[in-house]
Amino acid sequence: MELTIYVVDAFSKDRFGGNSAAVVPLNEWISPALMQKIASENNLSETAFIKQVAENRYEIRWFSPLTEIDFCGHATLASAAVILNQLGAQGELEFVTQEVGELQVVQLDDGRIEMSFPNQAPEVEHQVPPALLAGLSIPPQQVLKNRQAYFAVLASEAEVRAVQYDSEQLKQLAPFDVVVTAKADEETDYDFVSRYFWPANGGDEDPVTGSIHSGLTPYWATQLAKSELVALQASKRTGTLYCKISDDRVLVSGYGVLYLAGKVFV
């Protein structure tokens, strides 16, 4: 079997920045076991598999090197970039997911791809797991949680950049991941910063995590009294995300750059 594959650097204007995602368009679904093998072989944060079901409407599934993921932002952006810029589609796209409903995606005039996510605001976690505290080198000021991750709020951007993590401790929090976050320094162009650790589900540190901004955005919108925010994910590759609260949705946008187009033989 021969499949087409693309790799897009998501949430970056430049190649070798942001977060790389593979995109594999399918005419018919292949087995989950084969999708997992392809994702493991790719060894990227995510591989997205997409199947067109109507004009501008696609089913989408995401796989990390370890497991199927129920919600992934950067691979959705990468998929939209492929559909719009490589496969010739125009107008609004709709992705059908298994766990988070339908995601609407449009390309803005400046080239950014804007995705409409469910609002997944976190709630304060009063019983903080010992493994979370043991897994971070800097104690959080506050801990919250949503369906995806624990949110460890730190005192400053410097702490977010400096914090170290213990993968074995954080694995004990499965199926939840961990995001550390803080208000950005005043002299920057960002409103808040974050880093994302997910040893139980994909790897040690994710370069840029679009999905978690469905929770970070409502949290920081409340803290900063702003409905539009710019976020920096401060990994080694870094990524910039433009975030907006719109009724009960969270709009997250960013750029994507094609890195690779090729064939997979399975």
> Measuring CA to CA, how many Å separate 202 from each of 5, 150, 158, 260?
20, 16, 26, 22
Task: Tally the C-alpha atoms within 13 A of residue 38's C-alpha that lie toward its C-beta.
Answer: 28
pLDDT of residue 256: 97
Pair of tokens at residue 165: 């993590």
91 vs 182: CA distance, rounded Å: 36
pLDDT, position 37: 98
Sequence-ordered list of residues with C-beta below 8 angstroms from that of 176, at least 6 positions apart, any chain:
145, 148, 149, 150, 200
pLDDT value at residue 201 = 86
Dist CA 147 CA 178 (whole Å): 11
Q: 56 with 145, same domain?
A: no
**Rounded-to-integer distance, Cα 215 and Cα 149, Å:** 9
φ, ψ of residue 178 in degrees (nearest 5): -135, 130
Residues 68-77, mean pLDDT to the nearest whole number: 97
pLDDT at 202 > cutoff 90:
no
Cα angle value 16/18/42 (rounded, 5°): 70
Q: With 90 as the cut, is the pLDDT of residue 83 above it?
A: yes
Structure tokens belonging to residue 161: 């950049």
Residue 205 shares a structural domain with residue 161: yes
Averaged pLDDT of the chain: 97
**What mean pLDDT do residues 195-215 have?**
94
pLDDT band at 14 (very low <50, low <70, confident <90, very high): very high
> Looking at the whole model, is its pTM more than 0.85?
yes
Band of residue 203 on the pLDDT scale cut at 50, 70, 90: confident
Q: Domain total for the chain?
A: 2
Write out the two tokens for 6.
């693309």
pLDDT of res. 62: 98
d(CA 145, CA 60): 26
Quick one: 138 and 155 in the same domain? yes
Instruction: Tell me, yes or no, whether 61 and 140 share the same domain.
Output: no
Interval 76-101 mean pLDDT = 96
Read off the pLDDT of each residue in 10-21 and give the average, rounded to a whole number.
96
The predicted structure's pLDDT at residue 198: 94
Q: Which amino acid appears at position 254 of this protein?
A: G
Same domain, 190 and 231: yes
Average pLDDT over residues 236-259: 97
Same domain, yes or no: 27 and 106: yes
> Percent of the chain scored above 70 by pLDDT?
100
pLDDT per position as a tens digit, 102-125: 999 999 999 999 999 999 999 999
The alpha helices in the chain, defined as continuous H runs, are 32-42, 74-85, 130-135, 157-162, 167-171, 213-224
Number of other residues whose CB lies within 10 A of the CB of residue 104: 14
Same domain assignment for residues 98 and 152: no
CATH number of the domain enclosing 31: 3.10.310.10
Domain that residue 14 falls in = 2-119+252-265
Q: In percent, how much of the chain has pLDDT > 90?
A: 98
Enumerate the active-site residues: 46
Claim to verify: residue 99 and residue 134 sit in the same structural domain: no
